[in-house]
Amino acid sequence: MTPRLYIDAVLDAGSAIALGPEHTHYLRDVLRLGVGAPVHLFNGRDGEWRATITAASKRSLALQVEDRTRAPADEPDLWLCFAPVKKARLDFIAEKATELGVGRLQPVITQRTIVERVNLDRLRANAVEAAEQTERLTVPDVAPPLALAQLLATWPHERHLLVADETGGGRPVAAMLAALDAPARAAPWAVLTGPEGGFAPAELDMIGRLPMAHAVGLGPRILRADTAALAALAVWQAIVGDWQAVPRGRRSHETACMDT
Amino acid sequence: MTPRLYIDAVLDAGSAIALGPEHTHYLRDVLRLGVGAPVHLFNGRDGEWRATITAASKRSLALQVEDRTRAPADEPDLWLCFAPVKKARLDFIAEKATELGVGRLQPVITQRTIVERVNLDRLRANAVEAAEQTERLTVPDVAPPLALAQLLATWPHERHLLVADETGGGRPVAAMLAALDAPARAAPWAVLTGPEGGFAPAELDMIGRLPMAHAVGLGPRILRADTAALAALAVWQAIVGDWQAVPRGRRSHETACMDT
């Protein structure tokens, strides 16, 4: 297994990288790797690169970047705007949304949101870990929480918004997505999901006034907030996003060794 | 908030029900309910009924069943066949698959499955809890684990199988589902997902020999086993299952009070 790390450094053939304490601990103490071991690196901009551990001191591992294993590639421009929920389910949303290709995690405070304090560092750590494991070349941005009214007031006019409307007011999700015209399919998108208690009626009215909002239903069962977010993202990727292309083959060895 | 309980008893107007110790504890000690409080009951067969607490002894609460609040309704005939994974992610699969309307949870032991012991009681408890919260009228069956070869050898010939093939050998999932003819859409279905290491090549060959198997890809990113299961179920429900209908309205009060 070749470990895969996200680092905030320029990646280019021949660059030298000094790893920070967490990555050093992970490679040296957890994976027991030493000088000569290969590592894959990505920084969200320069694709993915192969590097080799060239020196190990007590505090840091030094790497030399060798060659590029994957070119930078566009990813769908998809945000997840979500009312924060309790801790384990919030970790879960960050992990799953990253696996499902989200470019921005945007917490939104709504009228019925119970959890108002969001640990952005923890959200970001979950996103980084999921990006490392999922072979993404980027890590989602983690934005500071916004009140719903503020989110809507500053909404980029070209970005379409799929709204998970649990009141039954929306169209079935697949029918709405399948009927989109080409400009709408090519536009930037976001998914918006509410708290466990759902959006308040006045909030749904306010959301519905956005010209690019599409209220949808996710079936006859009540979904928890985290399930609704994940399900909406998966259906969007399948019908509008990059799941429409024939998937590339896997690095079977890495897949087989992906830890849980 | 009216609590909603799954019980294994006949439900009919006027029936008397004596609750077991867990339900008694939950209603009396957790929710602090007493004589006169309403409760919703379902048993997987008779729809949903309103009942009232009529007596409270130290050990048990007695309920009288009053009137039916929802008639029994067909649910899509959809199984999830999945290689078991570690505990928290297994809990998650049971919960999410139940929310997503699965009728049977079938653990499958594959060549690269690391977790071979499955706690079926725990799986079932997670499914019951999710069914109670999700307003389902039924609880998924939890089947004992089967080896993959055994599952395939006894496969019901009319049941279609969506196989999450992470090697890149399958068609994009939405394209496959959207192209199904009417008999295939009306047929019973199952989703099959592998362990974190994926299926072995010989296993994929063996699965591919089932006449009703459809290998699909779930996009360019590596998904964890639990994410793949959930994503495939959501896309199936959206395109083929009961998410195609306009959703019915919610009991807004209950939704607002659904705990996390």
* Model ipTM value: 0.90
pLDDT attached to residue B169: 83
pLDDT level of residue B248 (50, 70, 90 thresholds):
low
Tallying the residues shown for chain A, one arrives at 260
Task: For the domain made up of B4-70, give the CATH fold.
Answer: Ribosomal Protein L25; Chain P (2.40.240)
> Cβ of A219 and B237 within 8 Å?
yes
Matching CATH topology for B4-70 and B78-244? no
* Interchain contact A258–B (C-beta under 8 A): yes
Residue pairs between chains A and B whose CB atoms are closer than 8 Å: 200
Residue A229 near residue B99 (C-beta atoms within 8 A): no
CA distance B228 to chain A (A): 9
Angle at B100 between CA B43 and CA A92, to 5 degrees: 120
pLDDT in tens, B115-131: 878 999 999 999 999 99
Residues of chain A with pLDDT under 50: 251-260
Identity of the amino acid at A165? D
Judging contacts by C-beta atoms under 8 Å, the chain B residues touching residue A48 are none
Q: Which residue from B minimizes the CA distance to A73? A: B220
Q: Which of A239, A229, A142 is nearest to A191 (CA)?
A: A229
> Cβ of A220 and B247 within 8 Å?
yes
Helix/strand/coil percent split, chain A, to 5: 35, 25, 45
Partner residue opposite A99 with nearest CB, options B101, B227, B234: B227
For A82, the token pair is 């979500």
DSSP three-state, residue B44: coil
Task: For the domain made up of B78-244, give the CATH fold.
Answer: Alpha/beta knot (3.40.1280)
pLDDT in tens, B50-71: 999 999 988 899 999 999 999 9
pLDDT attached to residue B256: 34
* Interchain contact B260–A (C-beta under 8 A): yes
pLDDT attached to residue A239: 98
How large is the average pLDDT for residues B93-108?
96
pLDDT attached to residue B247: 58
pLDDT attached to residue A236: 98
Helices (H) and strands (E) in chain A, counts: 9, 13
Q: Which residue from B minimizes the CA distance to A134? A: B222
pLDDT level of residue B245 (50, 70, 90 thresholds):
confident
How large is the average pLDDT for residues B103-110?
96
pLDDT in tens, B190-216: 999 999 889 999 999 999 999 999 999
Domain layout of chain B by residue ranges: 4-70, 78-244
CA distance A48 to chain B (A): 14
Q: Which residue from A minimizes the CA distance to B254? A: A197
Q: Which residue from B minimizes the CA distance to A99? A: B223
Q: Which residue from A minimizes the CA distance to B244? A: A172
pLDDT attached to residue A75: 85
Judging contacts by C-beta atoms under 8 Å, the chain A residues touching residue B84 are none
How large is the average pLDDT for residues B30-51?
96
Interface of A with B in 61-120 (CB under 8 A): 85-86, 89, 92, 95-96, 99-101, 112
> Cβ of B222 and A248 within 8 Å?
no
Judging contacts by C-beta atoms under 8 Å, the chain B residues touching residue A249 are 167-168
Interface of A with B in 196-255 (CB under 8 A): 196-198, 217-225, 227, 230-231, 234-235, 237-239, 241-250, 252, 255
DSSP string across A29-94 = IIS---TT-EEEEE-SSS-EEEEEEEEE-SS-EEEEEEEEEE-------EEEEE----HHHHHHHH
CA dist., res. A241 & res. B38, Å (int): 46
Which residues face B192 on adjacent strands? B81, B163
pLDDT attached to residue B235: 98
pLDDT attached to residue A257: 32
pLDDT attached to residue B249: 54
> Cβ of A247 and B219 within 8 Å?
yes
